[in-house]
Amino acid sequence: MSAAPVSAAPQANAIARGEPPLTPGAITEPWWVRALLIGIALAFLTLFLFVPLVAVFYEALRKGWDVYVASITEPDAWSAIKLTLVAAAIAVPLNLVFGVAAAWAIAKFEFRGKNVLLTLIDLPFSVSPVISGLIYVLLFGLQGYFGPWLREHDIKILFAVPGIVLATIFVTFPFVARELIPLMQSQGSEEEEAALVLGASGWRTFWHVTLPNIKWGLLYGVILCNARAMGEFGAVSVVSGHIRGETNTIPLQVEILYNEFNITGAFAVASLLAFLAVVTLAIKSVIEWRLHQQHSASEQA
Amino acid sequence: MSASPVSLAAPGTASARSAGSANRRVLPGFRLSLGFTIFYLALIVLIPLSALFLKTFTLTWGGFIDAVTSPRVMASYRLSFGASLIGAFLNVIFGGIVAWVLVRYRFPGKRIIDALVDLPFALPTAVAGIALTTLYSQNGWLGKLLAPLGIKVAFTPLGVLVALTFIGLPFVVRTVQPVLEEAERELEEAAASLGASRWQTFTRVIFPTVLPALLTGFALAFARASGEYGSVVFIAGNMPMVSEITPLFIVTKLEQYDYAGATAIAMVMLLVSFILLLTINLLQAWTRKRGQSERT
């Protein structure tokens, strides 16, 4: 294929020396090996990814469209949807601002302790979701460090909406920063320096030079952050208290319905999240393609 | 040096550019951005996490040891870490094959399959959990097929393994894929023209190139699986001593208001995570070094 011009020379030499020329098979596998490997890969992915995804929608729609619609418009489900949207609407923008600030500091400047900072930013990813919830119980629970004070002032954080929002912020903390830091590091800061030399202010430089350059990476981080924010289960489960209609997010509502053997209801609510996952993956693929294009364009330049 | 661990761009350009910006304080906003970064990091991550350490120090040494070595918690470690190890190993084999097939071969539906690999990242764990449980329960689509063979998956340790394999699936694929894409085909051609068989080329040229990435993927999948909660609790059956994972045991302790016990076990898990994080960083450094030395 594309390797032909490169391999032509050694091949010609080989022929000149009287050795047999390279057959195309020498740098790829026999057809049956290829077929076998593709078969194994497809079987594995079908079994572990495709079948479970299909099962969600199948179970959700099993008892018909009317039951499905009734399941997701039922008041408890509806309040779970609203709470999930609220938690994501707070967590995602906050982590977005953090991600941009962190990427600006880390990618554009040199300072000591940068690697430590990078490790610390990644920390929430390596902590079990259950532990992410536990730390807020230790802080704000009745026996927790701030528990007595909060109780005196009649502020509820744990087993209430603020706790859910905090846990969501924690588990989605690194997403945007993680996408932006490598992207901005690879872009360097020549364009920004040029803008500043030409007299643009710092903010103007950021809005008109940096932001257009990182917009795809930013969007990528945001959709991943959002998917996790809406889907987080473990951490939120620990801090929620599972009060129906009040502190249940969509994933927690799924759990309650499932444990009550309302399988269709559970899958109906779950299908909303599965749909979100599919949309996230679709947008992600499009962005990856754009990033790839941007990258090859900048390489040619 | 400061080049990113998972650089999106060609490694050559990054270093060339950072060398160019010697007058690096030209750009404004260093104090503001770094100050805000550290403030937010402390508020959201460091202070809450330090609560865990503070709480641990209120335990006596004996109490701590008792809490983290009780028979029930030992059984949960064996299950959580054992199933995570096997799951990560399965993902190295199958994930490696998937990455290879996606990079090297052409077949219909490839782009969709490539996108689908990230499903375990995007699909909330609770949804994955109920889907897998329904599939593998006795009258589920897959459970029905396995029942005549005497294999029970749902509500057994095998179910834990299935869930943990699912959750770790993307890691190996996504760490090996870029390495395979960047690997130079010329090396394989050189090996072939020197008379190596395809199998020899694979074991001597290709495998050593992707080995650091495979190990990184393994460690990432293992780390994720060992702390996993949502996808496992539905399918595990959660029987103490048999199919109870460590994160679930922490939740059980919390529900009994045994905060000290929960904290002690969480501390053990956190320690394992830190060791894994360190290992992963070293592996990634090795991957990068391998990549650079090959290019020069």
Residue B43 has what DSSP assignment? Answer: I
**In which band, very low, low, confident or very high, does the pLDDT at A23 lie, cut at 50, 70 and 90?**
low
Q: Of the given ranges (A244-248, B33-37, B179-183), which has the lowest mean pLDDT? A: A244-248
Question: A196 and B27: CB-CB below 8 Å?
Answer: yes
Interface residue B96 vs chain A (CB under 8 A): no
Contact B245, B125 (CB under 8 A): no
**In which band, very low, low, confident or very high, does the pLDDT at B25 lie, cut at 50, 70 and 90?**
low
Question: A170 and B111: CB-CB below 8 Å?
Answer: no
Contact A133, A235 (CB under 8 A): yes
pLDDT at position A290 = 84
pLDDT at position A242 = 81
pLDDT at position A126 = 86
Q: Which two tokens stand for residue A29?
A: 């596998």
pLDDT at position B22 = 43
Average pLDDT, chain B: 86
| Contacts A–B by Cβ distance under 8 A | 337
Distance from CA of A190 to the nearest CA of B (A): 7
Interface residue B115 vs chain A (CB under 8 A): yes
- Reduce the DSSP state of residue B57 to 3 states and report it: helix
Distance from CA of B6 to the nearest CA of A (A): 7
* Minimum Cα–Cα distance from A298: chain B residue: B9
Chain B residues within an 8 Å CB radius of A298:
9
Chain B residues within an 8 Å CB radius of A282:
115
Judged against a pLDDT cut of 70, whether residue A276 lies above it is answered with yes
In single-letter form, the type of residue at position A183 comes to L
Contact B135, B169 (CB under 8 A): no
Q: What ipTM does this complex have?
A: 0.86
**In which band, very low, low, confident or very high, does the pLDDT at A232 lie, cut at 50, 70 and 90?**
very high
Q: Which two tokens stand for residue B110?
A: 């490839």
- The radius of gyration of chain B from alpha carbons, rounded to an integer in Å, stands at 23
Judged against a pLDDT cut of 50, whether residue A54 lies above it is answered with yes
Query: What are the distances in angstroms from CA B161 to CA A178, A190, B168, B286?
Result: 29, 50, 11, 29
Q: Which of A233, A242, A227, A218 is nearest to A282 (CA)?
A: A227
Tens of pLDDT along B210-255? 999 999 999 999 999 999 999 999 999 888 888 999 999 999 999 8
Mean pLDDT for the stretch of residues B186-200: 87
Judged against a pLDDT cut of 60, whether residue B23 lies above it is answered with no
- Reduce the DSSP state of residue B114 to 3 states and report it: helix
Mean pLDDT for the stretch of residues A258-270: 94
Interface test with A, best of B32, B33, B282 (most A CBs within 10 A): B33
Judged against a pLDDT cut of 80, whether residue A3 lies above it is answered with no
pLDDT at position B2 = 35
CB proximity under 8 Å: A 129-188 to B: 129-131, 134-139, 141, 143-145, 166, 169-170, 173, 181-183, 185-188
Judged against a pLDDT cut of 50, whether residue B11 lies above it is answered with no
Question: A3 and B101: CB-CB below 8 Å?
Answer: no
**In which band, very low, low, confident or very high, does the pLDDT at B292 lie, cut at 50, 70 and 90?**
low
**In which band, very low, low, confident or very high, does the pLDDT at B291 lie, cut at 50, 70 and 90?**
low
Interface test with B, best of A281, A289, A298 (most B CBs within 10 A): A281
Interface residue B275 vs chain A (CB under 8 A): no
Tens of pLDDT along B124-172? 999 999 999 999 998 899 999 998 999 999 999 999 999 999 999 999 9
Distance from CA of A118 to the nearest CA of B (A): 10
* DSSP symbols for A138-160: HHHSTTSSSHHHHHHTT---TTS
**In which band, very low, low, confident or very high, does the pLDDT at A25 lie, cut at 50, 70 and 90?**
low
